[in-house]
Amino acid sequence: MRAAPSLRRCLCLLLAAIVDLACGYLTVNIEPLPPVVAGDAVTLKCNFKTDGRMREIVWYRVTDGGTIKQKIFTFDAMFSTNYSHMENYRKREDLVYQSTVRLPEVRISDNGPYECHVGIYDRATREKVVLASGNIFLNVMAPPTSIEVVAADTPAPFSRYQAQNFTLVCIVSGGKPAPMVYFKRDGEPIDAVPLSEPPAASSGPLQDSRPFRSLLHRDLDDTKMQKSLSLLDAENRGGRPYTERPSRGLTPDPNILLQPTTENIPETVVSREFPRWVHSAEPTYFLRHSRTPSSDGTVEVRALLTWTLNPQIDNEALFSCEVKHPALSMPMQAEVTLVAPKGPKIVMTPSRARVGDTVRILVHGFQNEVFPEPMFTWTRVGSRLLDGSAEFDGKELVLERVPAELNGSMYRCTAQNPLGSTDTHTRLIVFENPNIPRGTEDSNGSIGPTGARLTLVLALTVILELT
């Protein structure tokens, strides 16, 4: 009686061996791949081992989270005798095969899972097929395609008496996965405090308890220090602060010389006084990152560097944004130099303005490269503008139908950014217009009632002479 269970166990093992011999065996696996870079050629390799006769090989690309399978390659043994797609790296009788699919120029859209399905005939009957499959996830990387550094909230004015926060934004687009972005100042990495939320506009200067090091040796010399102290003394005495003038050694561009319409005013006042809130120490930097996925699978990264601006030290400081990415052999870089505006070049058209003409006064560049973008404010010295307003914001001032009364009027253009401001003046010269008799234009440059009556009398005289 005890031998019966052992006999049954042996019969089960024998039956399983017979079934396995009849059905055959099949194992499938896909060789793993490291992340690949968009544009490279990629080969997917499916290895399978069997002792049966092959029926078919099918490659699928899986999309939409596995709900859709797109067939990209099929081999059917019933209708093809071509085995060129398979490579035996052992002897044929070993029944070890490899099926490959080559993507000549992989794209970001090729990123995702792939499956290799292999079928063999059942040894018991050719009407039955034994199936097995393997899968792999193809990770396609893409290097960033663009990098740019801009200033946030610009154009913005220069603040003489209150500290203000300043933010540089580094925008990196086209990368997958998201790159690592960091800032440097004058070639040295910036040790910034991570910031999860942007600082409030009215929060005042940002502060941090970490020790700081002085930057006086970098940009501040004795001359600047003496001028800064003299400004404070002038403020204590209640007098008008001294403003330094720009160097006159620069040769003006002959193509931008003022035309006879204007009188060249030789003085340009640069407002660079630095009040008590300015400190001669390295500021505390705060860094915040944001990521925005794109529809093509890439990520746009924005790195925001914020600190309390010190025009005395930050002017002419070089800031660079650098990007590291596994698909890049070396970092990408974009850089800007913070510079206050200096020496605006004024161009006025027409070159010889006459009564009734429309005059345009335009700021055509500076003596230096200015960053961030400045803002422009126009005023008329000693009076209001032609339209009655006290000032006009914009790069170009337009005076429509100028009257004779504007001859000799002086206009001031104030160009400023958070690093500093500068004023330049130009005088308008208006010539007589032979087509408009003297005294016939009103204060706005239009022909008045007297001129209209005179024109009517002249017209009637001409008609009478003709008749």
Q: Which position has the token pair 């090729």?
A: 110
287 to 34, 165, 180, 208, 236: CA distances (angstroms): 32, 13, 13, 13, 38
Residue linked to tokens 């990368």: 175
Q: How far apart are CA 20 and CA 25, in angstroms?
A: 7
- How high does pLDDT run on average in the chain? 77
Helices (H), 206-263: 216-219, 222-237
CA distance 329 to 188: 21
Strand-strand pairing, 36-37 and 140-141 = parallel
In this prediction, residue 65 carries a pLDDT of 78
- Per-residue DSSP letter, 411: E
> pLDDT class for 252, splitting at 50, 70, 90?
very low
Percent pLDDT > 90 in the chain is 52
Q: Which helix (H) or strand (E) holds 465?
A: helix 449-466
pLDDT, position 201: 53
The structure tokens listed for 85 are 């797609």
- Give the amino acid at 397: L
Q: What is the DSSP letter of 163?
A: -
Q: Rounded to 10 degrees, what is the CA torsion of 293, 296, 297, 300?
A: -40
Mean pLDDT of 344-352: 91
pLDDT range class, residue 26, cuts 50, 70, 90? confident
CB contact at 8 A, 129 and 272: no
Angle at 229 between CA 226 and CA 230, to 5 degrees: 85
What's the rounded Cα separation, in Å, for the pair 172 and 287? 15
User: Which range, 226-240, 241-255, 380-394, is most confident?
Assistant: 380-394
Q: How confident is the model at residue 179 (pLDDT cuts 50, 70, 90)?
A: very high
> Which of 66-80, 208-222, 390-404 has maximum average pLDDT?
390-404
Confidence at residue 232, expressed as pLDDT on a 0 to 100 scale: 39
Evaluate if residue 302 carries a pLDDT over 60: yes
Any idea what DSSP says for residue 179?
Answer: P
**Separation CA 413–CA 415 (nearest Å):** 6
Q: Which of 397, 316, 313 is nearest to 358 (CA)?
A: 397
Beta-bridged to residue 135, according to DSSP, are: 115
Please name the residues in contact with 80: beta carbons below 8 A apart, sequence gap of 6 or more: none
The predicted-structure confidence for 314-341, as pLDDT tens digits, reads as follows 999 999 999 999 999 999 999 999 999 9
Residue 194 has pLDDT above 90, yes or no: yes
Q: Concatenate the DSSP letters of all residues of 27-86 into one string.
A: EEEE-----EETTS-EEEEEEEEESS-EEEEEEEEEEGGGTEEEEEEEEETTT----TTB
pLDDT in tens, 34-50: 999 999 999 999 999 88
361 Cβ partners below 8 Å, 6+ apart?
346, 347, 348, 378, 396, 397, 398, 399, 411, 413, 426
How far is residue 189 CA from its own chain's centroid?
20
Predicted pLDDT at 415: 96
pLDDT at 351: 84
147: confidence class by pLDDT, cuts 50, 70, 90: very high
pLDDT digits (tens, 9 = 90+) for 412-462: 999 999 999 999 999 999 999 888 776 555 544 444 444 433 333 333 333
Statement: residue 381 has pLDDT above 50:
yes
